[in-house]
């Protein structure tokens, strides 16, 4: 597989309906987003079948009240129809927030969690910001601005994109610990329920690609979400072959894969039938810890239907597997 060097960021594509007209002091533009934390019923296994092992599930075993960041028109007028990298604006993951070096990212956030009625926030990785845009709640400073946005309330976060920001980064809920199960409060339960997304930061050297793939590896635990029948290991809010995203490409296309992990597990992302250059060596499996990402390019040259999955066996069997279909 012919490849480019690993670690590149996504090219600057159409933002998630961001406003990018106003200039900012850093020489870039203002990228303005309107995000809302929404609650919705979500089924991790909509087909009811684990396509790898053959196990069948009833909807009540794999469904729960999820939370997700959704993108809206200005003033939270209407939900957007979709996201350029992740498909429908479903909330799991949240929209890909795009910016370039020199830009300012301004996120208008509103908490619409009408089910759990938890406070929520947004905490970013990889960009520069002041304490008021950190979004991380602590018991030592419970009234710190932006860390516990109550239901119906809103808050505006602002980040600066520096040259050191180029790359792929997660953003996620970092608000007050909460409890649903019997084990007591859980740190970042909102993120476990679905409040996470990706930042894609580029610069003038970022190489264009024909197609990009965005995958988030995350886990849900029955101890934390008791309505689930078991623990599940997911890509983009789905578990098991036939439910997780089916990635498509054509021979000759240059692809960029952006893969992120969140939670408390370590994962090993693997694609069958492919290898790529990453940090000076060829790989077909990359290890990710919590809140880490990998970004790599390759030129597709291997037609067929392939698997992508976590190579940690428990996670593979728990649902962290999907299809990659390459056509001529």
Helices (H), 10-151: 59-62
In the chain, where are the structural domains located? 30-327
Question: What are the distances in angstroms from CA 151 to CA 58, 115, 120, 165, 281?
Answer: 32, 10, 8, 31, 48
Cα distance between residue 137 and residue 22, in whole Å: 31
Smallest CA-to-CA distance from 232 within 216, 56, 240 is with 240
Backbone φ and ψ of 292, nearest 5°? -115, 165
Smallest CA-to-CA distance from 37 within 13, 71, 65 is with 71
Cα distance between residue 160 and residue 82, in whole Å: 25
Farthest CA pair distance, the chain: 58
How many beta carbons lie within 10 A of that of residue 103, not counting itself?
26
Residues 6 or more apart in contact with residue 32 via CB below 8 angstroms: 18, 19, 20, 74, 106, 107, 108
pLDDT for 302: 98
pTM of the predicted protein model: 0.92
**Sign for the pseudo-dihedral over CA of 185, 150, 82, 253:** negative
pLDDT for 289: 97
Cα distance between residue 207 and residue 188, in whole Å: 35
pLDDT tens-place values along the chain, 328 residues long:
333 333 322 223 334 444 545 667 667 999 999 999 999 999 999 999 999 999 999 999 999 999 999 999 999 999 998 655 445 688 999 999 999 999 999 999 999 999 999 999 999 999 999 999 999 999 999 999 999 999 999 999 999 999 999 999 999 999 999 999 777 899 999 999 999 999 999 999 999 999 999 999 999 999 999 999 999 999 999 999 999 999 999 999 999 999 999 999 999 999 999 999 999 999 999 999 999 999 999 999 999 999 999 999 999 999 999 999 999 9
Q: Give me the residues paired with residue 277 across strands.
A: 282
Q: Which CATH class is domain 30-327?
A: mainly beta
The two beta strands, 82-83 and 87-88, are antiparallel
The angle subtended at Cα 67 by Cα 61 and Cα 71, nearest 5°, is: 135
**Sign for the pseudo-dihedral over CA of 265, 270, 271, 275:** positive
């Amino acid at each position: 597989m012919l490849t480019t060097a690993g670690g590149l960021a996504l090219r600057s594509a159409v933002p998630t309906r961001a406003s990018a007209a106003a200039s900012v002091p850093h020489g870039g533009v203002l990228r303005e987003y309107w995000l809302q934390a929404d609650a919705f019923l979500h089924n991790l296994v909509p087909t009811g079948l684990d396509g790898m092992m053959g196990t069948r599930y009833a909807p009540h075993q794999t469904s729960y009240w999820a939370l997700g960041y959704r993108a809206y028109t200005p003033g939270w007028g209407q939900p957007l129809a979709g996201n350029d990298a992740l498909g429908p604006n479903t909330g799991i993951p949240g929209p890909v927030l795009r910016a370039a070096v020199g830009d300012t990212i301004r996120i208008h956030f509103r908490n619409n969690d009408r089910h759990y009625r938890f406070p929520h926030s947004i905490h970013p990785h990889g960009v520069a910001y002041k304490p008021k845009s950190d979004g991380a709640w602590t018991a030592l400073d419970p009234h710190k601005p932006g860390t516990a946005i109550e239901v119906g309330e809103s808050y505006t976060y602002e980040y600066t994109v520096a040259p050191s920001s180029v790359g792929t980064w997660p953003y996620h809920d970092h608000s007050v610990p909460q409890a649903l199960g019997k084990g007591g409060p859980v740190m970042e339960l909102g993120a476990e329920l679905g409040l996470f997304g990706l930042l894609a930061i580029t610069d003038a050297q970022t190489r264009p690609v024909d197609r990009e793939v965005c995958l988030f590896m995350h886990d849900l635990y029955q101890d934390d979400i008791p309505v689930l029948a078991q623990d599940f290991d997911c890509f983009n809010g789905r578990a098991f072959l036939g439910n997780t995203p089916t990635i498509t490409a054509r021979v000759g296309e240059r692809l960029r894969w952006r893969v992120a992990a969140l939670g408390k597990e370590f994962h090993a992302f693997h694609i069958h039938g492919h290898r790529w250059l990453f940090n000076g060596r060829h790989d077909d499996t990359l290890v990710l810890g919590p809140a880490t990402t990998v970004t790599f390019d390759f030129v597709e040259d291997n037609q067929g239907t392939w698997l992508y999955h976590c190579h940690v066996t428990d996670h593979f069997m728990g649902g962290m597997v999907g299809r990659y279909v390459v056509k001529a």
